[in-house]
Structure 1
Amino acid sequence: MITKEMRVADIVKEIPKSADIFRSNRIDFCCGGQIPLAEAVHDKSASLETLLDEINSLQTENAGEGLDVQYLDNASLINYIQNKYHILLREEMKNLTPYVTKVAKVHGDNHPELIDIKEVFTGLKNELLDHTLDEDDTVFPLVKEYSLNPTDELRAKLQPHIDELETEHENAGNALKRLRELTHDFTPPLDACGTYRLVFARLERLEKDTFNHVHLENNVLFKRF
């Protein structure tokens, strides 16, 4: 049974699908997830009682289902993150960029917030692409090396990288929160064309995948160190 005293990040570790509830209620379960659920509730979220009911219902509905990735060893968890998130992120950023640019160019006069959306998206894209490349080329190999040979020297070498990545995660989370504000919870206006609606839907999916991605790194993989 999930209680109000449990930390938000631990709830998502216990019930991964609760991430969707937190995301829709603008509750940070990644970088800001180390606080009790009771403290995370705010004026734009559902009440504490409603959140507890929804989350505990998920626990009942999905008991025993799916892969519990928090119990994977370090190398297997890294492979999971790379295949589920890094590869798809690079592909989605490449494919989504022309649509974001087109919508801002065509509809920006009537909806100036689209110019801001394009700017925030471009910054987020550049940061995430550099970030995942650094993880794949430098940090994840160090994690695997340390897992096989856990020396103080390797730990001291690894820690500054983890600290930097967690800061970058926080920056990405702030950019995603800004996109949610600019898009009014990814709700397109009534006059939005098909491409406009497509962009908002894919930005919402990007938010979901990135929050889940960051949660696995911050609150599962990196927490081990």
Structure 2
Amino acid sequence: MSNINENMKLKDILFKVPAAADVFREVNIDFVNNGSDTLKDAYDAGHFNLENILYEVNELSKERIEGIDVSYMDEPSIIKYIGRKYNDDLLDELPVLNDYVEKLAKKYKKEDAEYDKVSDLFYNIYREMTVHIETEETDVYPLLTTYYEQQSEVTHEALKPHITRLIDEHQNIVSWFKQIRSLTNGYTPVDSNEPLNVFVMKKLEENENNIMTILHLENNLLFTPFR
């Protein structure tokens, strides 16, 4: 058991208990941009039951970690891991999902559901993440790998403006997903008997989970020497 407590930083909790990200998202804890805050800091700034969150996270800590545990990987390996596990699939999936979200918005245009706003927000995410990933794969990740392998001051300085811009983009993406989560009542379909509605809500949540994992690893690990 990891013995998670309220004075631990959010990023350190997630490195010990990756599944805690699901718990944090449900109560709007921004662990991507505020990873250096403690859980108590997040509680002071938010509205959730601290005792319940601690209980949930410590229960999760008892479970065996599935898949690859990044806490045992060095930075160059994590960079490769992000590219192989997430980036290629996202570049394929985001445009397809964007089309489905647009179809859902048109289908429910006359209903109370605010899927038109969801469609606009997800288009922003699709557009931002596509450029984001392509920039990282082409320019940033090769430089970042060189920096971690050689600890070059020249490479460090070359990376700074790139990292600053990427961190700003992370803030936008987190904000857009937060709004989508709110508009959809935590990705709850307005019609659970309608396959398109159920499918799109499920895929939106999966994409949030995957993208927040990437942004967390970047902000709270890979980019920390440049902040």
Structure-1-length-normalised TM-score: 0.92
Task: Report the CA distance shift for 1:156/1:181 in structure 2 as closer, same or farther (over 3 A).
Answer: same
| Equivalent in 5, 15, 27 of residue 7 of structure 2 | 5
CA deviation after TM superposition for structure 1 residue 191, in Å: 6.9
Give, as a single letter, the amino acid of the residue that structure 2 aligns with 1:154: T
Structure 1 unmatched ranges of 5 or more: none
Aligned to 1:180: 181
Aligned to 1:78: 79
Identity percentage of aligned residues = 35
- Which 4+ residue blocks in structure 1 deviate beyond 4 angstroms? none
> Contact between 1:25 and 1:44, CA under 8 Å: does it hold in 2?
yes
Q: Matched residue of 2:110: which SS?
A: coil
Q: Matched residue of 1:67: which SS?
A: coil
Task: Report the CA distance shift for 1:223/1:204 in structure 2 as closer, same or farther (over 3 A).
Answer: same
User: What is the rounded CA distance, in whole Å, between the counterparts of 1:100 and 1:192 in structure 2?
Assistant: 17
User: What is the rounded CA distance, in whole Å, between the counterparts of 1:23 and 1:69 in structure 2?
Assistant: 20
CA deviation after TM superposition for structure 1 residue 90, in Å: 1.2
CA deviation after TM superposition for structure 1 residue 71, in Å: 3.4
CA deviation after TM superposition for structure 1 residue 89, in Å: 1.0
User: What is the rounded CA distance, in whole Å, between the counterparts of 1:149 and 1:202 in structure 2?
Assistant: 39
> Contact between 1:70 and 1:220, CA under 8 Å: does it hold in 2?
no
CA deviation after TM superposition for structure 1 residue 87, in Å: 1.0
Task: Report the CA distance shift for 1:187/1:141 in structure 2 as closer, same or farther (over 3 A).
Answer: same
Aligned to 2:201: 200
CA deviation after TM superposition for structure 1 residue 75, in Å: 2.0
Structure 2 unmatched ranges of 5 or more: none
Q: 1:35-62 CA distances to partner (integer Å, 9 max, x unpaired)?
A: 11012126643x1111111111111222
Q: Matched residue of 1:169: which SS?
A: helix
Query: Does 2:117 correspond to 1:116?
Result: yes
Q: Matched residue of 1:85: which SS?
A: helix
> What root-mean-square deviation, in Å, do the aligned CA atoms of Structure 1 and Structure 2 show?
1.8
Structure-2-length-normalised TM-score: 0.91
